[in-house]
A and B are shown apart, each in its own frame.
Chain A
Amino acid sequence: MIEFHLDPRSGVATYLQIVQQVKEALRLGTIEVGDQLPTVREVVADLAINPNTVAKAYRELEREGLVVARQGRGTFVSNTLARGTIRHHDALRESLERWLDAAQNAGLDEESIRALISSTLRETLARRVA
């Protein structure tokens, strides 16, 4: 089951952090259609956050058609965001790790790596759209 974590310094609203973490898990295939999300009480007991916040995150995921709430039973994943088959992920992750090693050997720190990845991602996607 997915476990949430919070970054209070991220500036991202708590409910959005939960929404994003569910989406990320869906993209990576770590949760799949039919899987249950933790109950509101479980998340609250784990993170010490406002139950209304968890309920709001789950409502948002439901509105986006990613989960369904079943009365008295909990909230279940009803859709996927994984593109391509997940078995390709391992190979892609390996080549990314090799690239990250090369970047570190070239002397780039974490911030430079992030900046390079996000600018390359933006430019590449923009080219494909054009």
Chain B
Amino acid sequence: MNAPPLDARALGKRFRREWALRDCTLTIPKGAIVGLAGPNSAGKSTLLALAAGLLAPSEGSVAVLGRDPLREPSVLAEVGYVAQGAPLYRGFSVGETIELGRRTNSRWDDELVAHACSGASLATKVGALSAGERALLALALALGKRPRILLLDEPFAGLDPLAGREFLKLLMDGVAETSATVVIASHVIADIERVCDHIVLLAGGAVRLTGNVEELLESHRILMGPRRPLGPIRGVSEIVRERYSGRQATLLVKSDDVIRDPSWTVEHVALEELLLAYMAPERLPTPRPAERAALRWHG
């Protein structure tokens, strides 16, 4: 029972000759709310589909709740997955959709689904719902099985800010109720920043950064000072990004100690800026033609 909710070892997925995800090793701690960040076609959807047992790895392995989702599909009863665009049967009513969920899942919590759908009319056809209402319904169905891990692929795409906030409220309420671990894939960092306490950053099919949000913010700093040849700076273990404008230098650094060098002004870094620095193209070792493959897979 103490296996991590999601554990990938050198996981890779190739579509024809192109790698959508490669050499992905990561462990997601129990109870975390994970922001799976990265630009479009970074491999986010592929990672979630591998974890949900919808795809077979081309190399490496993935374990969900300690089990291989393909060899032991029984684990999927405890995995909630909402694909991009919250696909549901448009011709079904809300009530019929909920009934379908009840009959096709071995674990089902009527009370939780009723609470989550309290604003919806059961007779309404799914096709007549707004994007926000459909997203809420899909989330309610995923929560209904009381998942131990919930995988959400770009849940905010197509939602206006108000619908996005309603979605987050229902999601966080569901987490408070079920203590599920959550992985939210999103290319918009602002959408997930409010809730995630753990980050996995993918770019070009590879893991660029992973860790606890607070620890990541604590171990990075922005340094500002006059432009000069850079030597070692005490307290700095790595320069992640350098930027220059005129005589001014701005560094984003990884820090392992207090930086006391008086020639630098030291500031904290915001999550969005940190992630942008780590997904910068100059940090990618060898560009892989993964983009087209991932796009094709989405149709």
Q: Is the CB of B173 within 8 A of A50?
A: no
Q: Is the CB of B176 within 8 A of A8?
A: no
Q: How far is the CA of A55 from the CA of B164 in the complex (A)?
A: 23
A-side contacts of B31, CB under 8 Å:
52
> Which of A21-74 touch B at CB < 8 Å?
40-41, 44-45, 48-53
Query: Which of A45, A50, A51 lies in contact with B196, CB distance below 8 A?
Result: A50
B-side contacts of A6, CB under 8 Å:
194
Q: Is the CB of A45 within 8 A of B169?
A: yes
Query: Which of B194, B214, B268 lies in contact with A49, CB distance below 8 A?
Result: B194
Known: A50-B33, A52-B33. A8 touches B194 (CB 8 A): yes
Query: Which of B168, B214, B268, B270 lies in contact with A48, CB distance below 8 A?
Result: B168
Q: Does B175 contact A (CB under 8 A)?
A: yes
> Which of A77-107 touch B at CB < 8 Å?
none
Interface size on B, residues (CB 8 A): 18
- Which of B173, B176, B214 is packed against the most chain A CB atoms within 10 Å? B176
Q: How far is the CA of A8 from the CA of B195 in the complex (A)?
A: 11
Q: Is the CB of A40 within 8 A of B176?
A: yes
Known: A13-B214, A44-B169, A45-B169. A50 touches B175 (CB 8 A): yes
> Which of B218-272 touch A at CB < 8 Å?
268, 270
A-side contacts of B214, CB under 8 Å:
13
Known: A41-B177, A44-B172. A50 touches B268 (CB 8 A): no
Q: Does B197 contact A (CB under 8 A)?
A: yes
Q: How far is the CA of A68 from the CA of B258 in the complex (A)?
A: 35
B-side contacts of A11, CB under 8 Å:
268, 270
Known: A11-B270, A41-B177. A51 touches B172 (CB 8 A): yes
B-side contacts of A14, CB under 8 Å:
194
Interface residues of A (CB under 8 A from B): 6, 8, 11, 13-14, 40-41, 44-45, 48-53
Closest 4 CB pairs of A and B: A48-B168, A51-B176, A48-B169, A44-B172
